[in-house]
Structure 1
Amino acid sequence: MSALPDTLPAAAPRGTWPLYGGVTALVLLALAAIFWPTFHAMAAIWERSETFAHGYLIFPISLWLIWRKREALARVRPRPDLRGLVLLAGAGAAWLLADAGSVAVVAQYAFVAMLVAAVWILLGEAFLRAAFFPLMFLFFAVPMGEFLIHPLMNVTADFTVSMLRATGIPVYREGTFFSIPSGNWSVVEGCSGLRYLIASVTLGVLYAYLSYRSFKRRLLFSLAAMVVPVFANSGRAYLIVMIAHLSDMKLALGVDHYIYGWVFFGIVMLLLFWVGSFWREDDLPMPAQPSPQRNAAPERGTGRPLLPVALAALVLAGLWPVYAHWLETRPLPNLPALAVQPAGGWRPAPPFTTWVPHWIGADRQLRQTFAEGRQAVMLELDYYVTQRQDAELINSQNFMIRQKDPAWANVGEGLVTVRIGGRTRQVRQAKMLGSDGQRILVWQWNLIDRNTVVNDYYAKLVLALDRVRLARDDGLSVLIATPYPETGIQGAAATLARFAADMEPEIARALDRVDGP
């Protein structure tokens, strides 16, 4: 009689899986209950956003992928593995930092990582390896990608303008707004192609897993699913502009603008999957899973009682939201009003513009106009004494202007290096264009622990760490703005630099008065 091959998994004892599977399901449901606000926030985005509506399908698809492998998974012997507690603790710490900084997407990723960690803890490394892709697919449930909107808008605008010029059509461009002889166009959030990209990546990765067996083919098709929709969306935008231009602005506007977009995207996706089908390997057997005898830790965890391990996992996971709740319920200090005294040659003056920044939830806010001779500058200070939901220094709802504002357009925003008071620093610069032709140059930066910060990710991390370790997590947004002519921003930039240098000592004193030295 010949020996059994090494690749044949050892079957789990009869009656093992109902117990382990049932306890695991209960623990996963308990984690969903413990972190219900995080899960509910994730589901709320699925509900209101067409871009992320596919989130409803991710958990059922993951369960279906596991069900497809049920025969192979049933042969895996479940064993509690305490090494998973390290992942659970790390994900919990990440969730706490994300919650303290109100970074919902990181908190949601951490929540999904805790679900994966719980499976590892209760069912062991062998099961984790065997069900690796279905478990990793759960991360697609997190509605992530909005940070790509503005880069994708710029890519679309760059491609469209370049193609228009290459086909001999003159174009005048400011930011994501451009004009051609037949009409005016703007690349807004809906033109970014994020919806196409998210759908393509999710479907592409799933298709690659189901259709291919080699890692190389899966990786290449997944990369294609990321790159193709970006170019396809840029081509879609160019074609829509050309259809409207050639039809004297009668076609590709209104409802058919969106119809053409989805039809074009559907054709591109069909072509992508059709080309990918030439290299399909789904008729080949799945790669053999390594047997428990070949695993580095086949017997690790043997004899550990399941229920105490499950309880330990729930206790460890529950510590983070308890601490977060305590942080959230701390009383806020009483704050004096925020006031800035004139300095240098600057004196209070009436407002010169109807444009106002959109910063929300500030505990104290100051908006005042100063003038020196013919030069006028608007100053806005937004002070946040502590970071909490909808009252935080760095928030996606804090911006220069909302999309499709009827009176104002943001025609260019980015980080620039400027010189203020003899020192070089970075500021966020934006150029605002009003429907009446007024142009305004804006500089904005944040003060955290008296340091100038313009990187939002770094600011979020610093403030979250300060909040978690019970240090001061206050922050101040400083925004200054002045008119500039159509001929250029050099004079306006010099005005803002001089104003900032003159007023910074007074801003620092105002900050001391409101938060203490």
Structure 2
Amino acid sequence: MTLERMQWAQVGRLMLPFVLSFAALAWLTFPTLEGIVSRWLKFDESYSHGLLMLAVSLFLVVRTCLNHPVRPGFYPIWLLPFFLALIGYGLGDILRIQAARELVVVPLLLGVLAVFMGWRQVRHFIIPIGLLFFTVPVWDFLSWTLQVITVEINQLLLGMMNIEFRVEGVFVYLIGVGAFEIAHGCSGLRYLLVGQSLALLYGELNLTRLRSRVVLFAVGVALALMANWIRVFVIIYMGYETNMQTSLIEDHDNFGWWVFAGTLVPLFFVGRWLETSALEQTNATAEVAAHTQPTPYHGIKRLTTGVVAMVALPLAFWALLPSTERNVRAEPAPMDLRLDGEQYGTLFSNRLEGWRPRVRNPDRAYVQTLFDRTKVSEGAGASETLYSAVYSYDYQRHSAELIQYSNRLYNREEWHTEDLYEVDVSGPATFRGVTIRNRATGKTIDIAYTYYVEGFWETDDLRAKLAQVRGFANKRTDASWILYGVSCDECDRQARLADLIDNTFDSVVQAVNQQYRP
């Protein structure tokens, strides 16, 4: 056997414990990993840098292995945090909270390394593997906070420009000009994630002191947020100056990346200044000396015990978890519900002026467009169109969840929001009302919606997601999205929306409860 073949055989023996353990872990977490990668492949969203960061992470792992040769052993003390991470994944699976499962993916990867490497070796891999945390789609819950901060900053800046405006929630109304919505995509989340990743990567490649890395990371976060604030302010200001005719309104994504690229210049200047500091150079010399310390050797029998444990634990969780069968319906089943009768008649359409919500993989669905018979004058057609819909999930699982990024109230390329309000209705549920305008036709419609999750009523996305945890104590597993809409030319749409809900809501709730109540 040649020396080259001996070296490859040795590499294979070193990698075998990790390969077997990662294979068992991938078997358990495959649906979650599939969901994460699917978000990476949506190149117009906040996680489109995921594939690039995966390649960078693999490069850093190989680089670290060359700088710090791995000597695998078995460190059983690290089985405890690995087991706790598996429990976290299992709870997320039982409660059907995808974000909880995604949160522990990176700790599980590091847990495998820690069991076979111990702290002395695994600490060098924390950043190369931890870099992937900025690609896991759990950061969306920051969006609302970032939106509010962006609105406050721009309110301050616009106040300095002697511009007449009004702010309501995430809407900025330029009096006599138009309105801007600081929507999810305007929160700056994508710039924050990329800025954090670049700062962490620069620190890993060029800095050795923890303090230097923390400083650079904080600067990266501040500049990424600042880039979004500048982008939104310039777009709003140019909209004001051009009476909403500026091309930046339609091309705001490309403009944002140019602004973000400009903020990287001071980031790398700060990084270079930290890199050439005297303390950083002294610390680098000490690190080289520390690398020469030998790593203890563990026998083959002990290593085999570790491999058996690390393969058995994920497979045991896979066998015990109740939702390993993740079937998704090809088409939703019809719901036993009709609202037409003495007061309402049926219109043959499943859209309202071209609008319909985007809902992914519901188990059951009801959609009906209506007209109010009392509002139809003799010899004339209906002056308004009413809409009612229910989308339900028997239980929530991967690719079939009520609160997921693919479920959208409307297509933002075709519609934009003009107003948000709370609908004044009686009953246990609260409804959030939204006025939207078609970008092409200028047609305006009003929509109201609420979430009914395992017996709890919510209108906020985060609270609807947390309702799954509250509902764990009861026997219900269902989740429904209930929507209403009104389109008319000369009526009070908000009042008509409230009337429609008051007249039909009991029938809708009865149909849902009849389907799901134990």
Q: TM-score, normalised by structure 2?
A: 0.73
Q: CA deviation at 1:315?
A: 1.9
SS of alignment partner, residue 283 of structure 1: helix
Measure the CA separation in 1 of the matches of 2:179 and 2:125.
52
Instruction: Report the equivalent of 2:79.
Output: 85
Instruction: Report the equivalent of 1:316.
Output: 313
SS of alignment partner, residue 428 of structure 1: strand
Measure the CA separation in 1 of the matches of 2:244 and 2:445.
31
C-alpha contact (below 8 Å) 1:358/1:398 kept by paired residues: yes
Give the alignment partner of residue 239 of structure 1, picking from 234, 243, 253: 234
C-alpha contact (below 8 Å) 1:441/1:482 kept by paired residues: yes
Instruction: Report the equivalent of 2:457.
Output: 452
C-alpha contact (below 8 Å) 2:24/2:315 kept by paired residues: no
Instruction: Report the equivalent of 1:364.
Output: 365
The 5 A counterparts of 1:247-326 are: 253=248, 260-280=255-275, 281=277, 282-286=280-284, 305-322=302-319, 323=321, 326=324
The letter for the 1-side match of 2:78 is G
Q: CA deviation at 1:270?
A: 0.8
Instruction: Report the equivalent of 1:514.
Output: 515
Measure the CA separation in 2 of the matches of 1:107 and 1:448.
20
Measure the CA separation in 2 of the matches of 1:248 and 1:419.
37
> Structure 2: which 5+ runs fail to align?
1-8, 376-383
- With over 3 angstroms needed to count, the CA separation of the structure-2 counterparts of 1:402 and 1:488, relative to structure 1, is same
The 5 A counterparts of 1:176-191 are: 176=171, 178=173, 191=186
Give the alignment partner of residue 325 of structure 2, picking from 324, 327, 330: 327
Instruction: Report the equivalent of 1:396.
Output: 405
Measure the CA separation in 2 of the matches of 1:246 and 1:336.
51
Q: CA deviation at 1:201?
A: 0.9
- With over 3 angstroms needed to count, the CA separation of the structure-2 counterparts of 1:502 and 1:40, relative to structure 1, is closer
Measure the CA separation in 1 of the matches of 2:251 and 2:468.
46
Post-superposition CA distance 1:310-358 (Å, at most 9, x none): 12211211234444664335999x9774225689xx8214669524333
Higher alpha-carbon deviation: 196-205 or 390-399: 390-399
SS of alignment partner, residue 402 of structure 2: coil
Give the alignment partner of residue 49 of structure 2, picking from 48, 54, 61: 54
- With over 3 angstroms needed to count, the CA separation of the structure-2 counterparts of 1:487 and 1:212, relative to structure 1, is farther
SS of alignment partner, residue 31 of structure 1: helix
SS of alignment partner, residue 430 of structure 1: strand
C-alpha contact (below 8 Å) 2:32/2:398 kept by paired residues: no
Q: Which has the higher contact order (CA 8 A, sep 6+)?
A: 1
Q: CA RMSD of the aligned region, Å? A: 4.9
C-alpha contact (below 8 Å) 1:101/1:460 kept by paired residues: no
Over the matched positions of the two proteins, sequence identity in percent amounts to 20
The letter for the 2-side match of 1:203 is L
Measure the CA separation in 2 of the matches of 1:512 and 1:259.
47
Instruction: Report the equivalent of 1:443.
Output: 448
Measure the CA separation in 2 of the matches of 1:157 and 1:385.
38
Higher alpha-carbon deviation: 84-93 or 313-322: 84-93
Post-superposition CA distance 1:130-187 (Å, at most 9, x none): 5433342332342453444565455545544653453234447775475577887665
- With over 3 angstroms needed to count, the CA separation of the structure-2 counterparts of 1:140 and 1:156, relative to structure 1, is closer
Instruction: Report the equivalent of 1:205.
Output: 200
Measure the CA separation in 1 of the matches of 2:142 and 2:508.
34
1:128 aligns with 2:126: no
The letter for the 1-side match of 2:495 is A
Post-superposition CA distance 1:357-410 (Å, at most 9, x none): 3334331314354759669864322232233444433333333211121xx422
1:166 aligns with 2:164: no
Q: CA deviation at 1:103?
A: 5.4
Q: TM-score, normalised by structure 1?
A: 0.73
- With over 3 angstroms needed to count, the CA separation of the structure-2 counterparts of 1:486 and 1:189, relative to structure 1, is farther
The letter for the 1-side match of 2:134 is F
C-alpha contact (below 8 Å) 2:78/2:114 kept by paired residues: yes
Measure the CA separation in 2 of the matches of 1:231 and 1:251.
22
SS of alignment partner, residue 386 of structure 1: coil
- With over 3 angstroms needed to count, the CA separation of the structure-2 counterparts of 1:91 and 1:178, relative to structure 1, is same
Q: CA deviation at 1:113?
A: 2.3
C-alpha contact (below 8 Å) 2:192/2:224 kept by paired residues: yes
Q: CA deviation at 1:110?
A: 2.8
Post-superposition CA distance 1:22-76 (Å, at most 9, x none): 42244335534654454344334334426434333434544554565558845x8
The letter for the 1-side match of 2:426 is I
- With over 3 angstroms needed to count, the CA separation of the structure-2 counterparts of 1:168 and 1:275, relative to structure 1, is same
Give the alignment partner of residue 344 of structure 2, picking from 341, 345, 348: 348
- With over 3 angstroms needed to count, the CA separation of the structure-2 counterparts of 1:62 and 1:390, relative to structure 1, is closer
Measure the CA separation in 1 of the matches of 2:122 and 2:490.
61
- With over 3 angstroms needed to count, the CA separation of the structure-2 counterparts of 1:71 and 1:180, relative to structure 1, is same
Measure the CA separation in 2 of the matches of 1:456 and 1:214.
40
- With over 3 angstroms needed to count, the CA separation of the structure-2 counterparts of 1:249 and 1:401, relative to structure 1, is closer
SS of alignment partner, residue 204 of structure 1: helix
Q: CA deviation at 1:502?
A: 5.5
C-alpha contact (below 8 Å) 1:176/1:187 kept by paired residues: yes
> Structure 1: which 5+ runs fail to align?
1-14, 292-297
Measure the CA separation in 2 of the matches of 1:395 and 1:215.
36
Give the alignment partner of residue 336 of structure 2, picking from 329, 338, 359: 338
1:409 aligns with 2:410: no
The letter for the 1-side match of 2:225 is V
Instruction: Report the equivalent of 2:478.
Output: 474
Q: CA deviation at 1:200?
A: 0.7
Instruction: Report the equivalent of 2:379.
Output: none
